[in-house]
Copies of this chain bind each other. A is one copy, B any other.
Amino acid sequence: MNLALSDEQEFLRDAARGALARHKTIDAAREAADGTELPDLWPVAVEAGWPGLLVSEDNGGAGLQPFDAMLVAQECGRVLAGVQLLGHVPASFLLDRGGYARIGEIADGSLRAAFCAARPPGDVVEEWTVEPRKGLKRAAAPSVSGDSVSGEVAWVPDAPGAGVFVVIGVEDGRPVALAVEGAAVQDAKVYDHTRSLGHVTFDGTAGTRLDVSPEQIASAWYIAQALIAAESVGTVETGLEMSIEYAKERFTFGRAIGSYQAVKHTLTEVLRQSENARSLLLYAGWAGEESAAEFPLAASAARAAAGSALDYAARATIGVHGGIGATWEHDAPYLFRRAQLSRRLLGGTHDAVDRVAGELLSSAA
C-alpha cells in the first residue's frame, strides 16, 4: 500500500509546473477573451515530451501510464494552459496500440492528434454515441464501412489544426477506431477561450483502421474523462489558493474576511471537495493501469467529483472576492469560464455521474 508519487512522478509534475510558469497563461486567457490569438503552447508540450507520454517506448514514446498524463493535465489546469493534450493523449493511446504507421511523429509531437470520442454503451443507452451540436439527446456515432467513415462529432477538443483524427465509429454495431488524416473541421471555440474546439465532419472520408479492441476504445474515453478530472482539480487548487490569500488580506467590519465562518466554511468545503476529487484521481490512475474492469467507475467518479469541485470552487472564488471577483481584470472569471465549459464537454459531468450509478447498478444486479 503506497499512494505516494514516485520520484519520477514528482519530477514530471515539477517540470510541468516549471515549464508552464514561463508563460502568462491566465493573462493570455483574458486577452484571448478579447480577441487576441492564444499563444501556441504545443512547442512547450513537445519539448517536455508530453505528446509521447502514453506511447510505448518501442514506438518512441515514454511508455508511461494514464496517471502520469493526469499529473501533467493537472498542472495545465492550474494555470489554464491551453495545451492540446485532451485531444492528443487519448488519441495517442489508440494510435499506439492500433499499429498506426506514423506513431513516431505522434510520440515526438510533430504530428498532433485529436480524438473524436464516442461514449461507450451503458445500462440505459446501449449504443455508442457522440456529442450532438445541441440538446440533451446524444448523437449516433459515425458509421464506418471498411476504411471510410461518415458522420459528425461536435465539440471535439483540440480539433482545429490537428494533423490526424482518431474517430470512433460503428460498423455492424461494433465500435471501430479509424485514423483519418483529413477531415472537415469547423472552429467551435466558445466561452472558455483557452480551450480549442471544433465540429468534425466525415463524409465517406478514408482512414486507416486501428487494430484495437472495443475495451481499448472504451478506455480511451475514460482516459479523456480522467484527464478532464485532473485538469479540473488543478484549476480548483488555483481558485483555493487565490481565495485564501484574499481572505487573509481583505478586512470588513474590523476583521479579515477569512475569520468569518461563512468564508471559512466555504473554503473548507472547497478543500473537502478537492481532496475527495484528488483521492479519486488516484483511484482512476490506479485503475487505468491495473484494472480495466474498474476504470469506467473510477474515471467517471473522478470526473464527477472533480467537475463538481470545480463548479463549486469557481463560484466560491468569485464569491469570496466580492464584486471585484466578477470583473474582467480579475483572474477568477477565467476559472469560471473554464468550469462552465468543461462541465459540458465529452458527455459532461452529468453523464459521468450517471455512469457511476450505472456501473454500480450493473454490478449490484
Contacts and interface: CB of A to CB of B under 8 A. Distances in A.
A361 to B, nearest CB: 14
Contacts of A23: none
Contacts of A261: 260-262, 265
A261 B265 CA distance: 10
A261 B262 CA distance: 6
A207 to B, nearest CB: 42
A255 to B, nearest CB: 12
Interface in A71-91: none
- Give the size range of A's interface with the partner: under 10
Interface of A: 260-262, 265
Nearest to A261: B261
Total copies of the chain:
2
A253 to B, nearest CB: 12
Contacts of A260: 261
Nearest to A263: B261
6 contacts: A260-B261, A261-B261, A261-B262, A261-B265, A262-B262, A262-B265
Nearest to A260: B261
A261 B261 CA distance: 6
A357 to B, nearest CB: 14
A262 B260 CA distance: 9
A261 B266 CA distance: 12
Nearest to A262: B261
A272 to B, nearest CB: 15
A260 B261 CA distance: 7
A244 B262 CA distance: 19
Contacts of A262: 261-262, 265
A183 to B, nearest CB: 38
A262 B266 CA distance: 10
A265 B266 CA distance: 13
Nearest to A265: B262
A262 B261 CA distance: 6
A105 B265 CA distance: 58
